[in-house]
Amino acid sequence: MNSTLLPNYSEASLRNFLKTLPPVDQVGASARVEMLATRSIKTSSKNWAIDLAIRMVDLTTLEGADTPGKVKALCAKAVYPDPTDLTVPSVGAICVYNDMVKIARDALDSGGGKHIPVAAVTTAFPSGRASMEVKIQDTKDAIANGAGEIDMVIDRGAFLAGNLGLVFDEIKTIKEVCGSDVHLKVILETGELVTLDNVRKASYLAMLAGADFIKTSTGKVAPAATAPVVYVMLEAVRDFYKMTGTRIGVKPAGGIRNTKDAIKQLVLVNEIAGPEWLDPSLFRIGASALLNDLLIQRMKMRDGYYASPNYVTLD
Amino acid sequence: MRIDVMKTYKLFINGSFPRSESGRVYELKDAKGKFLANPCFGSRKDLRESVVAARAAHHGWSSATAFNRGQILYRVAEIMQGRSEQFIAEIVAQEGATPASAKAQVQSAIDTWVWYAGWCDKIDSISGSTNPVSGPFYNFSIPESLGVVAIFADGKPSLLNLVAAVAPVIATGNTAILIANEKNPLCAITLAECLATSDVPAGVINILTGKADQFVSWAGSHMDIDGIDATGLSNKEVIELKELGSENLKRIYSFNEALSTKRMTNFMEIKTIWHTVGI
């Protein structure tokens, strides 16, 4: 919470601040991201970008059918994405449901992955439809089990109904539960916010309330991390840094399935937010299938011929 | 006076007709040296896109029922029948054949589709087996499709060679990348237009034109191609292909006869299952 932007925590002052934000030029945003998507990436940069993207992956499994075995296998993969090539870096984090946190933490600790944090989705993910007590308890549970990062969802219903104070208070409360050691990522679920103006407003709301990261989506709603949405969020963190001197991270999640998409995201980060954001501490990609494609492309760059999905794991 | 609207000969990848990523074309002349067309000069990236499309299409195509695949192969024959005149004209132009022999070739190409369409739901019974084993087990061997197969089509008779190569490969549930014969590519592109309108799912057959000798090294080293029909290649090229293909144990074969079950069984994988008796 930055006192220079908001005189107090009241809904009125929040509303007044959000009114000062200029509207997003939707056509301009689409045109700009389309233009940036045509950048050609040369070989040496591509090698660098692939390794950076691997380090940025929040390797995710958020299925009702998740088993302890699946989570453990995913943890092993997070530490050594390609066991035949130890030059491949570890991923940024493991992202699981609340009840899998302990299993993931133990598997990482015993498998050489002490440096990899476990991110837990909480606050009644993915809908966010629960009482505040439940959301707080959900978060406390995850932290007690060893979660180093919390991915919370905002109450989109409240946001769309204009109940901005409620959304703000929820994020602030969860950040208090997290404290300064546990990173809080706030999922805006941009697919349900409808307009880019709403994405911009929600981004500032989350940043003012104390988010360490703003995240596009749960992965359960389409469209998820579209390029214009990521563009607006990157602009928001850049401008927020100019206003307050605090760098907030961005995490697109959902729909980024191949290396080409991931590199396009990195181009956006570099061009919009700036090269400081090209780091796993400020940019993450929530994905599951993406990692395999990054590994396949890495093999191709190494061996000089096109690789096959037969040489990576089935997740 | 009216100027004819000439056809742009393009590639066929994942159910659509893109130009080559290379942006290049080559000039094709008929037997008498007269200009015929500008087919695309397919690039390494075009091959890569085709493999991605073929791999993505493999699951759906191989898990379709054999009966359904047979119906679709037959449908291709129906559509080709209606396009006979165009095929005949192209064969006459690019091969220098007489109209009568061109017509005979088109007819036998159509009959080849029907022949392999009939095999779709029978080949499993012929090439699979229950095996007698000395233990308390049922033991079955079941043929399955191999995966993605690249085909180097042979020259004359160009249409018949195309169909005789691609029909058996897809009949068993494989998906295919057909690399047209460099000097006789017109029928391949027209065949693509038939495939696009005959219920063959996108990506099951992808058709590329260009220089075959370039495709040899690209296809041979591609780790996601499982088998190659090298009928249209020279001995030297087959040796190069086999050296590169050894990296992922590609099945590489050449064939003589148009109608042969070998063309199907060579691109199948046999899965043997042991099942205990009495439990």
In the numeric block, the tokens 């390609």 are attached to A82
Give the H/E segment covering residue A184.
strand A183-187
Digit-coded pLDDT (tens) for A179-221: 999 999 999 999 999 999 999 999 999 999 999 999 999 999 9
Are residues A309 and A296 in contact, defined by beta-carbon separation less than 8 angstroms?
Answer: yes
Nearest to A213 by CA among A247, A175, A185: A185
| Token pair for A306 | 């096109």
Q: Kindly state whether B51 is in contact with chain A, defined as any CB-CB distance less than 8 angstroms.
A: yes
CB atoms within 10 A of CB B11: 26
Beta bridge partners of A185: A151, A213
Beta strands in A13-130 (DSSP E): 57-60, 93-97, 118-122
CB within 8 Å: A307 and B223: yes
CB atoms within 10 A of CB A1: 12
| Token pair for A253 | 């999640």
Type of residue numbered B203: G
Q: Is pLDDT at B279 greater than 80 in this prediction?
A: no
Helices A227-244 and A196-209, axial angle in degrees (round to 10)? 40
Using a CB-CB cut-off of 8 Å, the residues of chain A touching B223 are: 305-308, 310-311
Residue of A nearest to B48 (CA): A306
Q: Kindly state whether A308 is in contact with chain B, defined as any CB-CB distance less than 8 angstroms.
A: yes
Q: Kindly state whether A289 is in contact with chain B, defined as any CB-CB distance less than 8 angstroms.
A: no
CB within 8 Å: A306 and B221: yes
For A260, the 3-state DSSP assignment is helix
> In the prediction, which pLDDT does A309 show?
87
Per domain, the residue ranges of chain B are 37-276
Task: Give the Cα-Cα-Cα angle B262, B268, B272 (nearest 5 degrees).
Answer: 120
Q: Is pLDDT at B87 greater than 50 in this prediction?
A: yes
Are residues B167 and B75 in contact, defined by beta-carbon separation less than 8 angstroms?
Answer: no
Give the H/E segment covering residue B211.
none
Fill in the DSSP letter of residue B156: S
How far, CA to CA in Å, does A130 sit from each of A98, A145, A154, A216? 15, 21, 11, 21
Q: Is pLDDT at A129 greater than 60 in this prediction?
A: yes
For B139, the 3-state DSSP assignment is strand
Q: Is pLDDT at B79 greater than 70 in this prediction?
A: yes
Digit-coded pLDDT (tens) for B231-272: 999 999 999 999 999 989 999 999 999 999 999 999 999 999
Q: Is pLDDT at B161 greater than 80 in this prediction?
A: yes
Whether domain B37-276 has CATH 3.40.605.10: the reply is yes
How far does B54 lie from chain A, in Å, by closest CA?
A: 13
In the numeric block, the tokens 């088109």 are attached to B106
Digit-coded pLDDT (tens) for B176-214: 999 999 989 999 999 999 999 999 999 999 999 999 889
Nearest to B229 by CA among B146, B156, B113: B146
CB within 8 Å: A308 and B221: no
Residues 6+ apart with CB under 8 A from A213: A183, A184, A185, A186, A248, A249, A250, A251, A284
Give the H/E segment covering residue B9.
none
Digit-coded pLDDT (tens) for B107-143: 999 999 999 999 999 999 999 999 999 989 999 999 9
> In the prediction, which pLDDT does A4 show?
66
Mean pLDDT calculated for residue range A47-68: 96
Are residues A174 and A206 in contact, defined by beta-carbon separation less than 8 angstroms?
Answer: no
Fill in the DSSP letter of residue A23: P
Mean pLDDT calculated for residue range B54-68: 96
Nearest to A184 by CA among A221, A158, A219, A147: A147
CB atoms within 10 A of CB B141: 13
Mean pLDDT calculated for residue range B83-93: 94
| Token pair for B267 | 């691109």
CB atoms within 10 A of CB A112: 12
What is the number of residues in chain B? 279
Digit-coded pLDDT (tens) for A138-156: 999 999 999 999 999 999 9
Report, as residue numbers or ranges, the catalytic residues of A: 151, 215, 251
As a whole number, the mean pLDDT across chain A is 93
Type of residue numbered A32: R
> In the prediction, which pLDDT does B111 show?
97
- Where helices occur in A80-195 by DSSP H, the ranges are 101-110, 132-144, 156-160, 164-178
CB within 8 Å: A306 and B224: yes
Type of residue numbered B133: V
For B148, the 3-state DSSP assignment is strand
Using a CB-CB cut-off of 8 Å, the residues of chain A touching B55 are: 309
What is the number of residues in chain A? 315
Query: Do the strands B137-145 and B129-130 form a parallel or antiparallel pair, or are they unpaired?
Result: antiparallel
pLDDT range class, residue A1, cuts 50, 70, 90:
very low
Fill in the DSSP letter of residue A192: G
Residue of B nearest to A307 (CA): B223
Question: Sign of dihedral through CA atoms B76, B82, B84, B90?
Answer: negative
| Token pair for A137 | 């308890």
Nearest to A208 by CA among A180, A179, A235, A170: A170
Are residues A199 and A234 in contact, defined by beta-carbon separation less than 8 angstroms?
Answer: no
Angstrom distance (rounded) from CA B162 to CA B153? 6
Q: Is pLDDT at B165 greater than 70 in this prediction?
A: yes
In the numeric block, the tokens 């020259």 are attached to B155
Angstrom distance (rounded) from CA B138 to CA B242? 37
For B152, the 3-state DSSP assignment is strand
CB within 8 Å: A305 and B222: yes
Nearest to A251 by CA among A1, A273, A241, A243: A273
> In the prediction, which pLDDT does B6 show?
86
Q: Is pLDDT at B156 greater than 90 in this prediction?
A: no
CB within 8 Å: A306 and B48: yes
Give the H/E segment covering residue B14.
none
Domains and CATH numbers, chain A: 11-310 (3.20.20.70)
> Percent of chain A scored above 70 by pLDDT?
99
Angstrom distance (rounded) from CA A55 to CA B200? 41
